[in-house]
Chain A
Amino acid sequence: MESKQNTISLIEDDYGLSRINECIQCGTCSGSCPLAHEMDHGPREVFSLIRDGFLEKALISNTIWFCVSCYACSSRCPREIPVTDLIYSLRQMAVKQGLVSKKIKMPHLFKAFDRQVRSGKRISEARIAFFYGLRHPGDVIPAIPLSLKLLKRKRVEL
């Protein structure tokens, strides 16, 4: 049996997660999510895990990184819980607590993006793909023919 590992109080936290207590577990969020089928748990289940004390399990899940920020869940939630924003909160909490599994790829893309914004104020898709590709060549090498087509159409900026 897994021990309960909540390290925050859901009542007084910086992340707005207390809204999770309002969830009625209807599953509208998971049903609306375009990538729910790729997730370890849908958003409904993540909320349930957190409420039941399994925060760490929620934070290490791939769920919070598969969220594509389409806000379909937030738009449709009958309790008007800002589901997407809470997923963002969970991401930051996971990063802060060092609970991001190395297998999860999105944080690597986000970091490549973030680094560029901080260093030069603007980003280029090509540079992000390059730096992400150093870590995940298998994702980027197959995109080389596409990149050449884009280059030919002057759709690449370095």
Chain B
Amino acid sequence: MPFDPSDIMKDRITDIGPPKYDKFFPPIIKENYGKWKYHEILEPGVLVHVSETGAEVYTVRVGAARLLSVDLIREICDIADKHCGGYVRWTTRNNIEFMVDDKSKLKPLMDDLRSRGNWFPIGGTGASVTNVVHTQGWVHCHTPAIDASGIVKAVMDELFEYFGSHKLPAQVRISLACCLNMCGAVHCSDIAILGVHRKPPIIEHERVQNVCEIPLVIAACPTAAIKPKKVGDYKSVEINENRCMFCGNCYTMCPALPLADGEGDGIALWVGGKVSNSRVPPKFSKLAVPYIPNEPPRWPTTVQTIKKMLETYASDAKRYERIGEWIERIGWEKFFEKTGIEFRHEHIDDYRLAMTTWRTTTQFKF
């Protein structure tokens, strides 16, 4: 039965969840589920996984923008139909993976991918800069301080050679979040690009009482900087601007407190985070550059600063060291010296638990 707009409850199906996980497995994956023995990367972007049964699956990983049109998805389907038996998958980091069950099918697949302009760059494995996880930015979000897709495009254009090669000391995970909400959870990335505001909210006194729940707005402020205030006939709020750290949480609760400002907003860069437990425990990313202005359309200062950090790391770190492990070995004073990034008062924490980040030893480097 087709959808009947006059009776939306007719034949209604709800709460079914996603299709069962094995419904879309290619046969080689279904047959060898739980039987994989080892894997190898044959060249950047190309993996083989070998099963205890002797079966092999070859995977070609390609980068993609996270924002895809249905036309491009249909082209991905064409490729998967032609070479991969009609199956394809995406990775957590927005890469597309095409899988074939025989080595002889690998070259035709790769030739086909390479013949389609620059839509399907092969790489993103091993000690590379793999695809960037990111948020919506100006394309679709209501609280961003920066764009997302455009900055990612500019950064990946510049770091392209590191996507399709394994010449870094270890993998480098770059992530972008367009405001402090970090819906991409970028706080544990080797390099994180974060949109920041630097001006307290505008208070639209005549709108506050109509569009906001004032007690919720007051409760939303982590530093208790917001108080109720009557302005003329309007019930509104006042903000102690000295206590504002520009988190934007009040704006989330109240559209009459906008923070966005073309001159005030921009990018902070963070370094040295990781999520894997390999060698050393997971780490948060730490502040490298407090502020770079928004420079659309290609954000040259941001791109070049990231490249400088990446290439300093690449030339200085030991094999297997992630950026955070490298910095901890050489010390933060050496990180700032080697990268030429200015160390400023913004780098010294003055929020809660700040003292745990201050140096309480005479051990440092000159």
Chain A bound to chain B: no
B residues at A contact (CB < 8 Å): none
